[in-house]
A and B are shown apart, each in its own frame.
Chain A
């Protein structure tokens, strides 16, 4: 087996309403800080992976970034897989350094959706993910597409309102412990139930935030990471699962590609769900997190909500989850949203999570999903 890739630097910008930000300024701040966190200079970066922008789309975003920030990498490309982008970037960066194609790969993402597009503009832009002939003419929104899954899943497994709400309440509790989180005021089960309906059965507090923000991660080869200052975090396993793009073309409404992606990632790492100390799992909606927690094997089908009501997802619980607050409460800025999960996992494994620290965290599981539970990428990270 080749020497495993290491995550050597992480950084996020301010999150939420970041006045004066642009897509590229958010990329650049995150990149500069992640490179500094790794103990490197920009000249050390030989690979650059970018994501996508909803606010200022470009067919060559990685070239746009490298020009703006001032990098001349020997490998660069952009990856566009919705919420799975950050985890797919991590898997790609790990493969590049393990194959000795690069020494230090910078993965960088950012979008100023809140100030650059507004909430309504973002809702409209994201609805463009729907099939232009067979979904968009019917007024599908992203929340409505996930609501179709939620309705089917709740029906199949007899899950109630409070079990969904528990996931939002837990995320908000964790966000209250993170100084950068966009939403830090505690919420109750009643607050979620009473928040306005967006697309039944999903209410406002079942839905992720719309944020400005940027995120960057430096992935280094094992040899190149050896002399760097941070506690080493290795990429132990990655896996993907892809079953469909459009929700009306999904082979199932209750079983998704996360089952395959996580099985592959756990297998590569040689661990099982019960070995994991902390989980950072894509939570674009409460239903997203519920489905993934169960399909990935942390809970039996239909049981994650009850477990969450009993505190299982809290710091100190059986499956500490989204210790930064996740997309529901920390923030969601496009491709960067999924990177926030990776960054939090790294901080947990380094022992730098302050009030959010999970005791003795040695193994972390990070998962991203793009589209309507369409594209899945799972990763297992470990402290060396």
Chain B
């Protein structure tokens, strides 16, 4: 079975929002830094004053790879699949798969939008990317 993210206290709000198909990110109240992934402290000024914001869900492909060798049997049926880093317009970066019929045409710089993939029996949802025009 593909891994289902197990939320912890740092990331609970992120995954609860994802389950409702909303993409959240954190901004530091101390120095306005946008964090790449949720945590309990700002990695720039080390403040614990972090606020949740909702992303527009729009971004661009920074880099990608078409994966032909799966890490575990759970991903074997999906090869070849696209692994990418996406920079969202608000300035945070996430790893995602690019999904959709034209995913294998992915190029650096392509605009993408967030979509949500249901995973597991509990209807957990994983933010993913889809190319846009």
Contacts and interface: CB of A to CB of B under 8 A. Distances in A.
A149 B37 CA distance: 19
B129 to A, nearest CB: 10
A141 B11 contact: no
Contacts of B7: 133
Interface in B84-133: 84-85, 93-97, 108, 119, 126
A199 B69 contact: yes
A123 B36 CA distance: 27
B46 to A, nearest CB: 16
Interface string B8-24: 10010001000000000
A321 interface: no
A-side interface size class: 20 to 34
Interface residues of B, number: 37
Contact of B65 (A123, A137, A147, A196): A147
B75 interface: yes
SS of B interface (majority): mixed
Contacts, number: 107
Interface string A32-45: 00000000000000
A252 B81 CA distance: 24
Contact of A127 (B71, B78, B95): B71
B67 interface: yes
Nearest to A207: B69
Contacts of B36: 248-249
A301 B64 CA distance: 21
B4 interface: yes
A248 B129 CA distance: 15
A28 B64 CA distance: 42
Given A133-B11, A151-B63, A248-B94, A140 B83 contact: yes
A119 B1 CA distance: 20
A107 interface: no
Interface of B: 2-8, 11, 15, 36-37, 62-72, 75, 78, 80-81, 83-85, 93-97, 108, 119, 126
**Smallest CB-CB A-B distances: 10 pairs:** A147-B65, A127-B71, A152-B63, A133-B5, A139-B75, A200-B66, A248-B95, A199-B65, A141-B71, A197-B68
28 contacts: A132-B3, A132-B5, A132-B6, A133-B7, A133-B11, A133-B37, A135-B95, A136-B71, A137-B2, A138-B83, A138-B95, A139-B81, A141-B71, A143-B69, A147-B67, A148-B63, A148-B64, A148-B85, A151-B108, A155-B108, A199-B69, A247-B85, A248-B36, A248-B37, A249-B36, A249-B37, A249-B93, A253-B63
